[in-house]
């Protein structure tokens, strides 16, 4: 009788370990891939950066005056 109990416990432990391993594999395969965003560098190169590293943009788009002011400051530093 002890032999049957030991066999059952061994099979149960092996099954539990197998299910745990399977759950880890399934969880890993369902993770979303790293999202990347294409952006331009100041010198005009196109690069991809991780979305989590990009700061949120302001809620309103930049006005023409803002862009012109930025361009003037860029020309002064060049």
User: Is the pTM above the cut of 0.75?
Assistant: no
DSSP string computed for the chain:
-HHHHHHHHHHHHHHHHHHHHHHHHHHHHTSPPPPEEEEE-TTS-EEEEEGGGSPPPPSSPPPHHHHHHHHHHHHHH-
Q: Is the pLDDT of residue 5 over 80?
A: yes
Q: Is the pLDDT of residue 6 over 70?
A: yes
How confident is the model at residue 28, as a pLDDT? 66
> In percent, how much of the chain has pLDDT > 70?
86
How confident is the model at residue 24, as a pLDDT? 78
């Amino acid at each position: 009788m002890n032999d049957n109990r030991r066999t059952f416990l061994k099979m149960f432990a092996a099954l539990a370990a197998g299910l745990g391993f399977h759950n880890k594999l399934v969880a890993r395969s369902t993770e979303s891939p790293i999202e990347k965003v294409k952006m331009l560098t100041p010198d005009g190169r196109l690069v991809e950066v991780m979305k989590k590293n990009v700061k949120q943009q302001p809620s309103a788009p930049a006005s023409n005056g803002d862009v012109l002011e930025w361009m003037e400051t860029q020309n002064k530093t060049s």
